Each structure stands twice: as C-alpha cells, then as structure tokens.
C-alpha cells in the first residue's frame, strides 16, 4: 500500500516511516494535499503538546485534508498525540478544540495516582468487545492481542463519549484508560507501534493489509 505520513512539524515522524518501510509498505512523509488524498492509507503521528499540534495543522491547511481523507473511507491511523488530536477537545495547558473525528475529550492523568506521570514504558492492553461488533458478528482483523506489551509515552489520555468505540484499554496503577479506538476506517492508539518491537511491526503490517 501507498501510505502518507502527515508532516506537521511535530517530532517522531521518521521512526514511523522506518517501521512502515520495514514491513513492506511504501510510505512518504508529506504535508501536500494532493499526495495525501491520493494515498491508500494515512498516518497522523506525533509527540508534543495538543495546542501546538493543532496550530501547526491549521497553519499548514491540513485539518480539512484529514477530514476529507477519512470521509473517503480509506484507512487512517492516529498514533499517540495523533490519536488524541482526533477528539473534540483537550485540557492540555488550555482548553483547545481538536479535529472532532471522535466524540470525547483528552484529559490529564489523575493527580491522585501514586505512579509517576508521564506514563512511560511498556504496558499491556486489554481488548474490549464493543456491542455493535458483537451484534454484527465481525471480529477484528487488526490482531492486537490481550496481554501483549506496547510502548507508551504520555501524560494525557482520551475519554471517548461512546464506550462502544473503545478497542482496548490499559491499566496504569489504579487508573484504566482507553489505549485504542476503532471507528469505521479510523484506528487510533495511545501507544507507539513503531517503538514496540516485533509486536508493533506486526500490528502496522496487519492494519494496512
């Protein structure tokens, strides 16, 4: 597949390109509208702050491009900050509107947690079975497995409005947060598959297949 990786001047772009190339997908880092819309798949990566990221997307004219791509029904993947940007708003530093692709918000980890924030390192996922997928009888082919370890680096987590959109959760101390979402042709994950060793590479290969 021909995959575009959105370059919106936030870090962690070329690590995802290297990972996609490793598993045999043709990838290109770009902020060109035509190149993005002609791609078979699209990745929104990112490490950094929510307000800065939204500002960069606005300045580069990429907000409508992302929306148009998703409306075309082609595969979209949001990673870490790129996952959080899909939501309606965030409280990181200030109240800031997001892309509004997924209903819900981005919140800081509870200050009552005895564990350090940011949440950095390896942690497992627990897959959920959304009621709508149960009814339709359509098991996922993304192949994230329970108790598999993935690599996380974040101080904020998403709180989706519709729990049936949740694909997997992760526990950090007493806190359980949404670590991935599948919504039609959109998949978002809080962990970094490109930094998660062979398991993360398998995920990237399978998702875009």
Q: Is 189 a catalytic residue?
A: no
d(Cα 27, Cα 66) in Å, to the nearest integer? 17
Residue span of the structural domain in which 120 resides: 2-207
- Contact (CB, 8 A) for 204 and 20: yes
Q: Is 176 a catalytic residue?
A: no
- Contact (CB, 8 A) for 129 and 107: no
**What is the per-residue pLDDT for 92?**
85
B/e letters for 116-133, b = 16+ CB within 10 Å, e = fewer, are eeebeeebebebbebeee
Instruction: State if pTM tops 0.85.
Output: yes
**What is the per-residue pLDDT for 112?**
55
Task: Report CA 91 to chain centroid distance, whole Å.
Answer: 18
**What is the per-residue pLDDT for 47?**
86
The catalytic residue among 25, 80, 154, 157 is 80
Q: Is 80 a catalytic residue?
A: yes
Q: Where are the beta strands (DSSP E) in 109-174?
A: 119-124, 126-127, 149-154, 156-160, 166-172
Query: What CATH number corresponds to the domain at position 74?
Result: 3.40.50.880
The catalytic residue among 56, 157, 178, 194 is 194
DSSP state of 111: T
d(Cα 81, Cα 55) in Å, to the nearest integer? 13
Q: Which residues of the chain have pLDDT under 50?
A: 131-139
Domain count, the chain: 1
The catalytic residue among 56, 119, 154, 192 is 192
């Amino acid at each position: 597949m021909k995959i575009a990786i959105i370059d919106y001047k936030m870090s962690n772009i070329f690590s995802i390109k290297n990972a996609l190339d490793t598993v045999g997908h043709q990838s290109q880092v770009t902020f060109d509208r035509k190149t993005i819309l002609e791609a078979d798949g699209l990745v929104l990566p990112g490490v950094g702050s929510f307000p800065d990221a939204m500002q960069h997307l606005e300045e580069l004219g990429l907000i409508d491009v992302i929306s148009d791509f998703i409306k075309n029904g082609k595969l979209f993947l949001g990673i870490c900050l790129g996952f959080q940007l899909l939501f309606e708003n965030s409280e990181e530093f200030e109240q800031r509107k997001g892309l509004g692709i997924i209903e819900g918000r981005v919140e800081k980890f509870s200050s009552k947690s005895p564990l350090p924030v940011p949440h950095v390192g390896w942690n497992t996922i627990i897959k959920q079975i959304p009621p709508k997928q149960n009814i339709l009888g359509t098991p996922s082919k993304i192949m994230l497995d329970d108790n598999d370890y993935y690599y996380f680096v974040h101080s904020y987590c998403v709180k989706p409005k519709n729990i049936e959109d949740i694909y997997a959760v992760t526990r950090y101390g007493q806190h359980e947060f949404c670590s991935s979402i599948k919504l039609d042709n959109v998949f978002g994950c809080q962990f970094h598959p490109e930094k998660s060793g062979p398991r993360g590479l398998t995920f990237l290969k399978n998702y875009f297949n």
